[in-house]
Amino acid sequence: MPSISKNRSIIVFAGFVFIYLLIVLNLYFIQIIHGMFYQDLKNRQYLITVTTMPARAPIFDRTGASLALNKESLTAFILPRELESPETLLPFLQHYFPKAYERFEQYKNHHFMYIQRRLSPEQQAAIERANIKDIKFLQEPSRYYPMPSVGQLIGITDIDNKGLFGIEMLFNEQLAGEATTVALARDARSSKFYFHKETTAPGKKPEPIQLTIDGTLQYLVHHELQKVVTQWQAKGGSALVLDPQSGEILAIANVPDFDPNKSDALDMECTNNSAIIDTYELGSVIKTFAALAALEEGVTTPDEIIDCKNTRSTYIDGRKINTVYPGGKLTFSQVIEQSNNIGIAQVTKRLGPKIYDHYLRLGFGQKTHIPFPGEQKGFVNHPSQWSKQSLFSLSYGYEIRCSLIQLARAFCIIARNGQDIQLQLIRATTKSPIPTTNDTRLYQPETIEMLKKMLEATAKRRRRRASPFDAYRIMSKTGTANILIDGEYNPDRNLYTCAGIIESLSRTEHPYQRVIVVLVKEVPRKNMYAATVAAPLFDIIAEKVVIHDKAL
């Protein structure tokens, strides 16, 4: 009996040892051999990863008014594998959303398919009238632009709210921020409760941007530009307003433009910010800087008598020089007032290659480095590439291509009595430090004052009505330029420019100043000049600016 009992004990003990070994072996296989499999299974069943993007940061003008903000838009979608009435859905898609209908065959075995994102009110109404249960809605963030006239500057975002061009693209990372990823662990006893939350990838808060643009002034400038382009049936136009003391761009408008809130059918040519990215041969407005170079180098004075031959056409060093109005013996100041090509060519001949150096000193042929994508540096023909005509052409605005923003910067240097300036478009952002104003002196104040008096006389000469600016000094220069077509300058296709400075006479310590540049492209009427087309636009914008700034 004792031996039987002992045997039973051994058998029971062995059985427990075997069972224990089985358990240990099973745990080994579960935790070691197949550990990763069960870990993944647990994660799929109980862990949820949620990625959320923060709301895109707004863009403000200098006063704090919104230029770009967020709104909720409706998106329509279907669940192709769970359709209740495809016989009703598909004809509806074919009629109202043909692109979605074409995609359906590709997506019919998928769990999800977009019909249309950012539904228009008309599309939303059509879906609601159809009352098809298979079509479902969700809300998504999208961008709204309260001031369409600034669309070429601000740009737009794509369907996923990423910047496509303009400020939206250049500062996309700052405006968008970074997504936050959170892991949630679900209670195994309930699908509605989560007992653990862990941030696996911390996001980054988006930061707004404030521009130097004045929204109200932008509207006024764009409105007047549009009126003039329509009046003359012109191909387009641009206008800028700057504060030369700070270098801040207050308004920058282009026509034709586009509505950034209606981006479904964009004409990409209308999205170009021509005032920044296009360059032109601008004609006689460049005489301003040829005159500045001549005065600074001391090769002439405002009172020197220049023999302009009293003709519209003459030869200098064997090269034919044409001018619009004949002039006899004129002072150099009158040469600029009357925009006489023969007179400026004779004076510029004394400068020789130095005119090239002065154009570069004024910023032509170089980018202004304002924070905007696509800015062009333009072109100034180098002396090594000159023909016998080049020096004369450079004196009255040919063989030099510049953007309007470069032209505006050069006039800012004149307004600042010869001090350099860094133009600014961004007023406040933590990502891009605002550049400090460059106070390098490029020209002597005495030279600048001589030029200012010449530009003032030029402005008075072409103004045909009484000026409302009795307390202001107006200094400007116009330019009419033929456009180069297939290697030849076409006299019937022209650019009309007027650029200048308006300055308060009553403030001597910190004078009120504005630089204004306007351009009108290709008026269909022949024999038109900037004094008729662009100068009145300059005047009306100047009036609007002064009234807006409450300085009149």
- The model's pLDDT over 414-423, given as tens digits with 9 standing for 90+, comes to 999 999 999 9
pLDDT at 429: 64
Q: Dihedral of CA 134/135/137/140: which sign?
A: positive
pLDDT at 4: 65
pLDDT at 233: 96
Q: Give the mean model confidence (pLDDT) for residues 460-471.
A: 64
Q: Give the mean model confidence (pLDDT) for residues 280-289.
A: 96
- Mean pLDDT across the chain, nearest whole number? 86
Q: Give the mean model confidence (pLDDT) for residues 313-318.
A: 91
| Band (195; pLDDT cuts 50, 70, 90) | very low
Residue 367 pLDDT more than 90?
Answer: yes
At residue 542, what are phi and psi to the nearest 5 degrees?
-60, -45
Largest CA distance in the chain: 148
Q: Which of 202-211, 386-395, 431-440, 507-516 has the highest mean pLDDT?
A: 386-395
Q: Which of 92-101, 170-179, 246-255, 437-446 has the highest mean pLDDT?
A: 246-255
Pick the residue with more confidence: 523 or 16?
A: 523
- The model's pLDDT over 73-127, given as tens digits with 9 standing for 90+, comes to 888 888 888 888 888 898 898 888 999 888 888 888 887 888 888 888 888 899 8
pLDDT at 245: 93
pLDDT at 486: 86
| Band (193; pLDDT cuts 50, 70, 90) | very low
Report cis status (omega within 30 of 0) of the bond before 256: yes
Lowest mean per-residue pLDDT among 105-109, 257-261, 433-437: 433-437
| Sheet of 194-201, strand order | 47-52, 180-186, 194-201
Looking at the chain, the whole-number percentage of residues with pLDDT higher than 90 is 57
Residue 36 pLDDT more than 90?
Answer: no
pLDDT at 170: 94
pLDDT at 149: 92
117 alpha carbon, distance to own chain's centre:
26
Which residues are CB-contacts of 519 (< 8 A; sequence separation ≥ 6)? 237, 238, 239, 275, 280, 282, 404, 495, 496, 497, 534
What is the full DSSP assignment across 469-487?
Answer: -TTEEEEEEEEEEEEEETT
pLDDT at 60: 95
Dist CA 130 CA 132 (whole Å): 6
| Band (261; pLDDT cuts 50, 70, 90) | confident
Domains of the chain: 51-211 (3.90.1310.10), 215-258+275-548 (3.40.710.10)
Contact 528, 324 (CB under 8 A): no
Pick the residue with more confidence: 457 or 41?
A: 457
pLDDT at 192: 41
Burial status of residue 89 (CB atoms within 10 A of its CB: 0-12, 13-18, 19 or more): buried
- The model's pLDDT over 125-144, given as tens digits with 9 standing for 90+, comes to 998 898 888 888 877 778 88
- Beta strands of 319-446 (E only): which ranges? 319-331, 379-380, 400-401, 426-428
Residue type, 504: S
pLDDT at 438: 66
pLDDT at 34: 56
pLDDT at 445: 95
pLDDT at 190: 43
pLDDT at 226: 97
E strand or H helix at 194, and its extent?
strand 194-201
| Band (552; pLDDT cuts 50, 70, 90) | very low
